[in-house]
Amino acid sequence: MIEPIDWLDRWRRTVIERQAQADRWRGGPAREDDFWAGSVARFRELTANMTDDEPFFATLRAAVRPDDTVLDVGAGAGRYALTIAPYVRRVVAIDPSPAMCEALALGIADRGLRNVEVVRGRWPDDAGLVGSADVTICAHAMYWSPEIGPFLRAINERTRREALLTLRVHSVDAWLGDLPKRLRGEGRVPEPVALDLVGALSAIGIWPDLRIVPGYLRSYGSLDELAAHVATLLAFPPDDAPLDFLREQIQPLVSEREGRLWLDGPWRLAGIVSWRNA
C-alpha cells in the first residue's frame, strides 16, 4: 500500500531531524546567539554584486509596478529588498537576525534609500508587525522553519497580488555525495527543497507554478576555504575538523577557473515557486 505524502509532516520532520543530526554530530547545539552573524559579510557581498539578470530578481522585477509595496520575508542583508527598492513605492523587509537587520540598515544608508522599512521579527510569529503587500517574496529563508503551513498561510494572507518564493532544488550539501556517511556513519538528513515547497503549498490548498532556474553558483578562493565550509556543513567544530582528509576528498568535486574553485553540476539549481491572488 502506497500512502499519500503528508507534505507538512514531511517538511516538519526534515527540519527537526536535520537540526537534531547536526546537534548530535556537534555534541550539542551551536553556541552562536545570532546564527547569521558569521554570514553577514558574504550576504552583503552577494547584495553588492546582484545583477539585473539574476533569475529571481528578474522575475521579481517583471512582477512589480511602480506603485507597489513589496514585502520581503527573511530579507537578510537585502539582496532583493534593496535591489528592487528603486522600482517600487515601498519595501518592507522582515528578518529576525540582529546582524542581518544591521546589514540592511547599512545598505539602506549606503544607497540613500528612503522607501525601505526594516522590521526585526520572525515569520510567521511576528507577521502582525507588517501589513499586506502587493508582492511578497521569500528567498532561501524557509529551510529552518518546521511549521511551514502557518508560514505559508501568513504569506498568502498578506499578499494582494503575487507571491514569489525561491528555494534550492538540492540540499546545500547534496554535492558531498556519500562523504557524510563515510565520515559520520550516516547520510545527511536532507533539507526541504523546492519540490517540498510545492507539496506543502498544495497541502494548504495553493497550487503554485514552479520554474527551475540556475541559482547562485558558489565559488571558493582555495581548497582550504572550501574544506572549512565543508567542515561547517558536517558540523565539525573549527578547531577539530579533519581538514586534510576533507581537502583530499573534495578536490575531485570542484573545477578551477579564473583562479577560483567552482562546484559545477546541478547543485546550483533553484526553484521559483509563485502564485497569484485575485
Ligand X SMILES: C[S@@+](CC[C@H](N)C(=O)[O-])C[C@H]1O[C@@H](n2cnc3c(N)ncnc32)[C@H](O)[C@@H]1O
| Binding region for ligand X (CB under 6 A) | 36, 43, 46, 73-76, 79, 94-97, 100, 122-123, 139-141, 144-145
**Cβ distance 249 to 39 under 8 Å?**
no
Cell numbers for 16: 527537526
Task: Give min distance, CB of 74 to ligand X, in A.
Answer: 3
Residue sitting closest to ligand X (CB): 76
Contact 155, 138 (CB under 8 A): yes
DSSP structure string for 130-187: S--EEEEEEES--TT-S-HHHHHHHHHHHEEEEEEEEEESS-TTGGGTTHHHHHHSSP
For ligand X, which is the closer residue by CB, 97 or 159?
Answer: 97
Is the Cβ of residue 175 or residue 278 nearer to ligand X in the bound state? 175
- Residue closer to ligand X by CB (options 43, 220) is 43
Q: How far is the CB of 84 from ligand X (least distance, A)?
A: 12
Asked if residues 123 and 74 have their Cβ atoms less than 8 Å apart, the reply is yes
Distance, CA of 211 to CA of 52 (rounded, Å)? 18
How near is the Cβ of 222 to ligand X at its closest, in Å? Answer: 23
Nearest approach in angstroms of CB 75 to ligand X is 6
Nearer to ligand X, 144 or 245 (CB): 144
Angle between helices 194-203 and 7-26 (to 10 degrees): 140
Q: Which residue number, 69 or 166, has a Cβ lying nearer to ligand X?
A: 166
CB of residue 78 to ligand X, shortest distance in Å:
7
